[in-house]
């Protein structure tokens, strides 16, 4: 038993090297929240979330407020009883998946350390995958996006991800210009972040299909998920559900509808590792390929995501680039970026990462 004795919920503010712009808005800094849990056995667990107000409906301020509520609930509980603790948080307050994910992450860190295992092994995985991250081009002018895409290729990233979600003609020009500049060898994936109408999505996806696009994330508003089956039917590019796939219930609904080809799972959307694993089991059962990504978490949050990636054969795509956008690194240990943007995990117990 590892009784929870102390929980700290702290703000973690880090400026970005340059603005990160998507259809949902502009971001100049990561306004994250760190959760640190200490147990009776002297184990310390670390967690992190990156609230995104237009997706989670949460901010760092609301996360800290709800975090203090969750802290009061969990003090005195056994940190190793993860399922019970997750159910307790879910019963205490609806939604708030971002801050819950930070608590969940810290609990898994403790449990894996108590077992003397790296987190991926605690989850039943093996460190036997080659994981390479993409790097993202923010929405901007055609010229700026084309230049950024070429720089990403020249830096050795194996995949380029492009943020879209603007007017149809503009997005088509952006993609044609980028593909011309980077050539045909490097894969490109796109993310509309809910920015298109159904009609625009179908038109754009058909017009850029000759550009050899891996997949398209969340073409229309998350509330219009009933439109996804028709978009999928008419699109020559595979459709990946992101904002419309937060919980295991969402995933089941999308499967029943035949709404998408792929899932994008983020710990901050699912409420943490416990619920993310349930989505992964559904993906495995139904033959759905998965991308793991995140918001603006530091390397600590993405280290947890990388461990989860090693626990399932369904995870094929890795969107782990945002820590590279930070102006400073607040983390010691954890995943590293190797040659060719490869993600490297150590054999340390638990996450193998902590805040410095």
The pLDDT tens digits of the residues spanning 231-267 come to: 999 999 999 999 999 999 999 999 999 999 999 999 9
Which residues does the annotation mark as catalytic?
163, 191, 217, 242, 266
**Quick one: fold of 121-355?**
TIM Barrel (3.20.20)
Distance between CA atoms of residues 219 and 179, nearest Å:
20
Domain chopping of the chain, boundaries: 4-116, 121-355
Distance CA 158, CA 132 (A): 7
Please count the residues of the chain: 356
The candidate with the shortest Cα–Cα distance to 48, out of 318, 325, 272, 286, is: 272
Give the integer Cα–Cα distance in Å for 244 and 227. 11
Three-class HEC string of 298-354 = CHHHHHHHHHHHCCCCCEEEECCCHHHHECCCCEEECCEECHHHEEECCCCCECCEE
pTM summary value: 0.97
Contact predicate 64/34, CB 8 Å: no
How does pLDDT run across 26-41, given as a tens digit for each residue? 999 999 999 999 999 9
Instruction: Give 162's strand partners.
Output: 137, 190
Provide the β-strand partners of residue 350.
118
Counting as low any pLDDT under 50, the low residues of the chain are none
Number of helices (H), then strands (E), in the chain: 12, 15
Task: For residue 139, count other CB atoms closer than 10 A to its CB.
Answer: 23
For residues 93 and 65, give the distance between their C-alpha atoms in angstroms, rounded to a whole number. Answer: 12
Tell the CATH superfamily of the 4-116 domain: Enolase-like, N-terminal domain (3.30.390.10)
């Amino acid at each position: 038993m590892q009784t929870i004795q102390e929980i700290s919920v702290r703000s973690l503010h880090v400026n970005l090297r340059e603005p990160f712009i998507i259809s949902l808005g502009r971001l100049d800094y990561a306004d994250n929240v760190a959760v640190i849990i200490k147990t009776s056995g002297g184990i310390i667990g670390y967690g992190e979330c990156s609230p995104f107000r237009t997706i989670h409906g949460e901010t760092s301020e609301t996360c800290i407020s709800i975090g203090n509520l969750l802290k009061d609930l969990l003090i005195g509980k056994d940190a190793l009883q993860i399922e019970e603790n997750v159910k307790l948080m879910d019963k205490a307050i609806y939604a708030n998946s971002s801050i819950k994910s930070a608590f969940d992450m810290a609990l898994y860190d403790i449990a894996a350390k108590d077992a003397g295992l790296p987190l991926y092994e605690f989850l039943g995985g093996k460190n036997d995958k080659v994981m390479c991250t993409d790097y993202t081009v923010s929405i901007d002018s055609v010229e700026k996006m084309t230049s950024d895409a070429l720089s990403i290729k020249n830096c050795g990233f194996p995949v380029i991800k492009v943020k879209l979600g603007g007017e149809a003609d503009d997005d088509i020009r952006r993609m044609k210009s980028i593909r011309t500049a980077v050539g045909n060898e490097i894969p490109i994936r796109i993310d509309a972040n809910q920015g298109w109408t159904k009609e625009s999505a179908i038109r754009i996806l058909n017009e850029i299909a000759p550009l050899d696009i891996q997949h398209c994330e969340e073409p229309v508003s998350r509330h219009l998920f009933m439109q996804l089956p028709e978009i999928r039917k008419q699109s020559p590019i595979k459709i990946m559900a992101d904002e419309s796939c937060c919980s295991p219930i969402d995933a089941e609904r999308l499967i029943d509808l035949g709404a998408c080809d792929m899932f994008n799972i983020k710990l901050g959307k699912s409420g943490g590792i416990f619920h993310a694993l349930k989505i992964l089991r559904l993906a495995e059962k139904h033959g759905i390929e998965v991308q793991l990504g995140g918001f603006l978490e530091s390397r600590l949050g993405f280290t947890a995501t990388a461990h989860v990636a090693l626990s399932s054969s369904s995870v094929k795509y890795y969107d782990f680039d945002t820590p590279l956008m930070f102006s400073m690194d607040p983390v010691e240990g954890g995943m590293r970026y190797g040659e060719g943007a490869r993600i490297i995990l150590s054999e340390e117990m638990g996450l193998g990462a902590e805040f410095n």
